[in-house]
Amino acid sequence: MVELNRQDNESNFEWKLRLCKAKLNKQIDLDWQEIVDILGLNMHYDNLRKMAYGYVEFDEYLKSGGVTTKILSIADTHVPFQLPIDVFKEYAGKVDILELNGDLGDCQSISKFTKKYRVNFVEEMIETRQYIIDLIEYIKPKKVFINYGNHELRYQKYLSDRLHDDLLQLMPNTSLDLIIDVGFKNYDRKLKTEIWYTPIKDVFENIEVTYTKDWKCKIGKTWFVHPRAASSGMLKTTEKALNYFLRMDKDFDSIIMAHTHHLGSYIQGDIYMFEQGCCCKSEEMDYADGLLFNPQQQGFIYVCQNENGGLIYDKTKLISIN
C-alpha cells in the first residue's frame, strides 16, 4: 500500500514525484484533484497530470546517469564457431540497439586457408541466419545495425574469381546481402525441392533491422568498424582507423574495432578507442595453426551514450568472456 503522507526523509518534490508515479502506475485509486489536495498544491489538477509524465521521465534520466542510448556490440561470431547466446544474458532486454560488427559467418569453405575439413557453405548461411535471429529474439533491442566483415567479403572474391563480369552484376556482394536483405532459396537437386529463407529484415515486425552494406557505421558519435586491414599489435589497427576517420569526420568521440580478436582500450586526445574481442570458439578455427599469432581474446562491448550521442566512458563496459 502506498503511503500518502509525506515521509520524514522526503522533500516536497520527492513526495510529489512518488505520488505521481504511484498514480501513473495505477498503485493508488485517487483522481488527480485528490492528489493536488493531499499535496496542498495551488494548481489545476490537469496541469499536475500533464507535468507528472515529465517528472517521471526526468527521474528515470537521473537514475540512468544521463544514459539515453544503450548499445550492445557483438562481432566475430564466425558461425559455425559461435559462442552460445546465453553469454549475453546480462544484457537481454536491456539495450536499445544491437550492433553486429561483422564476421558473423565464417565462410569457411571458400577461404584460401588449408582446411582439415569443409563446412558446407549453404548450411553455414542457414546457421548464420538462425543465429542472428536467435540473438535478436534473445536481446530484444529496438533497432539492429549490421556491418559486414572481411570474412563476408570472401563471398564476393570467390565469385569474382570464377564468374564473368556480366554475371557478377546479378550477384550480391556478401552472404549477408542474402541473409538480411534479399532472402535465398536452398535447392535440393536430388529431391527436386526448395526451401525459401525469408530475409531477416522482414522477420521482425517491431524491430528495425538495418544492414549497412558497409564495413562501418556511425551511431551517435561512435564509429563501429570492421576493416580488412589488421595489425598484430594491440590497438594498432584502431590507431590506423583513428587517422582514417580524422581525415573524413571530425564529429566523433569513439571507435569500436572488431576484426582483431583483441580486447583493449585506449584514449588518445579526446577519442576513446576499443578493440572488442571475438565471440567465437577460436580454438576450433585452425587458420592460424602454427603461425604463432597472438592468442585470441573473447569479448564484446556495451556502449552508453548521452542524449547528444556522446560516449559515457564510465558507463561503457568492455566485457571479457575468457
Global pTM?
0.80
CATH number at residue 304: 3.60.21.10
Q: Per the domain annotation, does 2 fall within a domain? A: no
Same domain, yes or no: 177 and 95: yes
Q: Per the domain annotation, does 6 fall within a domain? A: no
Q: Quote the strand ranges of the chain, DSSP E.
A: 69-74, 97-101, 143-147, 184-188, 193-197, 208-211, 216-219, 222-225, 254-257, 263-268, 271-276, 299-305, 317-320
Beta-strand relationship, 299-305 and 69-74: antiparallel
Q: Per the domain annotation, does 7 fall within a domain? A: no
Question: How far apart are alpha carbons 269 and 301 in whole angstroms?
Answer: 21
Phi, psi of 100 (to 5 degrees): -105, 115
Beta-strand relationship, 69-74 and 97-101: parallel
Question: How far apart are alpha carbons 41 and 20 in whole angstroms?
Answer: 13
Same domain, yes or no: 39 and 181: no
Q: Per the domain annotation, does 170 fall within a domain? A: yes
Same domain, yes or no: 19 and 135: no
Q: Per the domain annotation, does 87 fall within a domain? A: yes
Same domain, yes or no: 92 and 187: yes
Instruction: Output the pLDDT for position 119.
Output: 81
Instruction: Output the pLDDT for position 172.
Output: 81
Question: How far apart are alpha carbons 102 and 78 in whole angstroms?
Answer: 9
Question: How does the average pLDDT of the chain come out, rounded?
Answer: 89
Q: Per the domain annotation, does 1 fall within a domain? A: no
Q: Which of 5-14, 32-41, 111-120, 221-230 has the lowest mean pLDDT?
A: 111-120
Q: pLDDT tens digits for 275-317?
A: 999 999 877 666 555 444 567 899 999 999 999 999 999 999 9
Same domain, yes or no: 21 and 86: no
Q: Per the domain annotation, does 229 fall within a domain? A: yes
Q: Per the domain annotation, does 26 fall within a domain? A: yes
> Cell numbers 484533484 correspond to what residue?
33
Percent of the chain with pLDDT over 70: 93
Same domain, yes or no: 54 and 130: no
Q: pLDDT tens digits for 191-231?
A: 889 999 999 999 999 999 999 999 999 999 999 999 988 77
Same domain, yes or no: 25 and 158: no
| Domains identified in the chain, total number | 2
Instruction: Output the pLDDT for position 112.
Output: 67
Phi, psi of 154 (to 5 degrees): -60, -30
The residue range of the domain holding 31 is 12-63
